[in-house]
Amino acid sequence: MHQYTNTKKAIELSNRFWDVTTEAGLANIVSRNLNDGFHQVISSEKSFLNMSSYSYLGLDSHPDILRAAADAVINTGSLNTSISRIRVQFDILQRAEAALADLVDAQVLTTPSCAAAAAASLPLLASGALTDGIAPVMVFDKNAHFCLNMMKPICADEAEVQTISHNDLNALEDLCKSGRRIAYVADGVYSTGGQAPVRELLQLQHKYGLFLFFDEAHGFSTLGRHGRGLVLETMGEINDRTLIVTSLNKGFGASGGAIFLGRREDRLRHDLATRFGGPITWSQRINTAGLGAIIASAGIHRSALLGQLQAQLQDKVRLFDELIDSESRGDGLPIRFISIGSEENTVLYAKSLFEQGFYTSPIFFPVIAKGRAGLRIMVRANMQDDDIRRFASALNQLKNDHE
C-alpha cells in the first residue's frame, strides 16, 4: 500500500491550508473577465490582475480564437459526436489534428486535457507497445507533474517503476548502463520553475537508446519555432524514442491536450492510442468549440505574430527579473516561484497582494515539499510594464516588512 500514491496523507497534510486559503478569499473567486488578465470579483466589484495565469502569450482572449470556437459549433451543428471517436468522428477533429501535426511535424492525437494525454499514453509505454514489445523500466523524475505520477500504480502493474531525484542524470545513466530498456518520464518545463536537461537527456538517448517521455504543458507555445516547445526545439525533430504530451488549455489558448506520438507518417501509434488509450476510447474528445479554437490558434502559431508574442514575453520576463529576486531568475522561462517558507506566511503574502489588486497562487504540499511554500507567479506577454513595476514594489515591500 502507498508505494506510489497517498491521497489520505495529502488530505491530512494540506486540506487545512486550503481552508486557510479559502478563508483569506484566495480560492473560489468568482469573477467576470475584463481581458488581458484583469478580472472583476462579482460579489465585491473589486478588480484585480491575475499574476498566476497560464496564458503566457495572452492567447486566451484572442478574438480569432474565440470567433473560430463559436463558428465551429454552429457550422458542425453539434458540440459532440456522442460516440467514441474511433467509431464516428466529425471531420473538424481530423482538421484540428492535422493543423497541430503541421505545427510540430509529428503524429498528433488530441485528448480532452494533458492529464488525459498522460492517462492514455503512459500505460501504453509501460506495456512495451512502443519499445519493441519489451516493457521498459519506467523511471520518473521526483518532480514530474502530478498527472504523470498518478499513473505510477497503473504502470507498475505492467513494468518496473522507479523514481529518481530531480534532474539526476547520473542515476539515470547508471540505470541505462544496466543494459535494460529504460523510459524516463519528466516535465520539459516544470510547473514550479526550472526545466529538464534536454540536451543531456538526448545524449543518453543517443548512447543507450533511452526512451524519453516529456510533459510540455509549459514549454509548448512559449518556446521554439511555431511554439513547438523546449523539447522539440532542442531535438530539431521528433523521433520514435520520444513521446511528448502537452496541454492546449494553457499558453496555446484553446482547449484540451495532445500527444506527439512520433514521426508524422507513423499512423500505427495513433491507432494504438485510440484503441487502447484508456479514457479517450470512450466518449471523451475535445468538443467542436475547442477544435475550432485549436485550428485558429495553430494558424496564429504558424504566423509572424507568434514570434512577436514570444519576444514580448521575454521582455516582460527580463523586466520581472530585474525587479524581483527568485531562484530561477535569468532562465528565460515565464514561471517564477517566490519562496516564502511557512504555509501561513504564504497565504498572508497572497492576501496582502490581493488587497493591492494582484492575484497570486499560494503553492504548498503536495505540489511543493512541506514547509517550502511560496507564490507561483507567471509572467505574460500581455502584461503592462507599469503593472509589473507596481507588483514588484508591492512584493518587495512585503518581503522587507517580514525580514
| Nearest CB to ligand PLP, comparing residues 110 and 175 | 110
Min separation Cβ 294 and ligand PLP, Å: 13
Write phi, then psi, for 255 (nearest 5 degrees): -160, 145
Min separation Cβ 258 and ligand PLP, Å: 10
Torsion angle of alpha carbons 130, 136, 142, 143, nearest 10°? -10
Q: What sign does the dihedral 227-250-58-358 (CA atoms) show? A: negative
| Nearest CB to ligand PLP, comparing residues 272 and 363 | 363
Cβ atoms within 10 Å, residue 54: 21
Residue 215 touches ligand PLP, criterion: CB under 6 A: yes
| Nearest CB to ligand PLP, comparing residues 141 and 343 | 141
Instruction: Give the sheet arrangement for strand 373-378, strand by strand.
Output: 335-341, 373-378, 361-363
Applying CB under 6 A, the site for ligand PLP has a residue count of 13
SS3 state of residue 358: strand
| Nearest CB to ligand PLP, comparing residues 53 and 191 | 191
Report the alpha-carbon distance of residue 288 to residue 80 in Å, rounded.
6
Min separation Cβ 304 and ligand PLP, Å: 27
Single out the residue of 110, 113, 149, 284 in contact with ligand PLP (rule: CB under 6 A): 113
Report the alpha-carbon distance of residue 360 to residue 377 in Å, rounded.
6
Min separation Cβ 141 and ligand PLP, Å: 11
Beta-bridged to residue 139, according to DSSP, are 162, 184
Residue 316 touches ligand PLP, criterion: CB under 6 A: no
Min separation Cβ 23 and ligand PLP, Å: 25
Site for ligand PLP, residues 233 to 292, rule: CB under 6 A: 247, 249, 257
Torsion angle of alpha carbons 31, 36, 38, 40, nearest 10°? -40
Single out the segment in contact with ligand PLP by CB under 6 A; choices: 120-128, 211-219, 312-320, 330-338. 211-219
Output DSSP code: residue 168.
Answer: -
Site for ligand PLP, residues 20 to 39, rule: CB under 6 A: none
Single out the segment in contact with ligand PLP by CB under 6 A; choices: 111-119, 122-130, 291-299, 326-334. 111-119
| Nearest CB to ligand PLP, comparing residues 218 and 226 | 218
Residue 191 touches ligand PLP, criterion: CB under 6 A: yes
Single out the segment in contact with ligand PLP by CB under 6 A; choices: 157-165, 178-186, 206-214, 215-223. 215-223
| Nearest CB to ligand PLP, comparing residues 20 and 109 | 109
Please answer whether residues 341 and 371 qualify as being in contact, where contact means their C-beta atoms are separated by less than 8 angstroms: yes
Please answer whether residues 252 and 297 qualify as being in contact, where contact means their C-beta atoms are separated by less than 8 angstroms: yes
| Nearest CB to ligand PLP, comparing residues 119 and 175 | 119
Please answer whether residues 20 and 347 qualify as being in contact, where contact means their C-beta atoms are separated by less than 8 angstroms: yes
Output DSSP code: residue 278.
Answer: G
Residue 138 touches ligand PLP, criterion: CB under 6 A: no
Residue 187 touches ligand PLP, criterion: CB under 6 A: yes
Min separation Cβ 115 and ligand PLP, Å: 4
Residue 217 touches ligand PLP, criterion: CB under 6 A: yes
SS3 state of residue 182: strand
Instruction: For 178-256, list the strands marked E by DSSP.
Output: 182-187, 211-215, 242-247
- DSSP character string of 20-54: HHHHTT-SS--EEEEETTEEEETTT--EEEESS-S
Min separation Cβ 268 and ligand PLP, Å: 25
Min separation Cβ 195 and ligand PLP, Å: 11
* Residue numbers at the binding site for ligand PLP (CB under 6 A): 113-115, 145, 147, 187, 191, 215, 217-218, 247, 249, 257
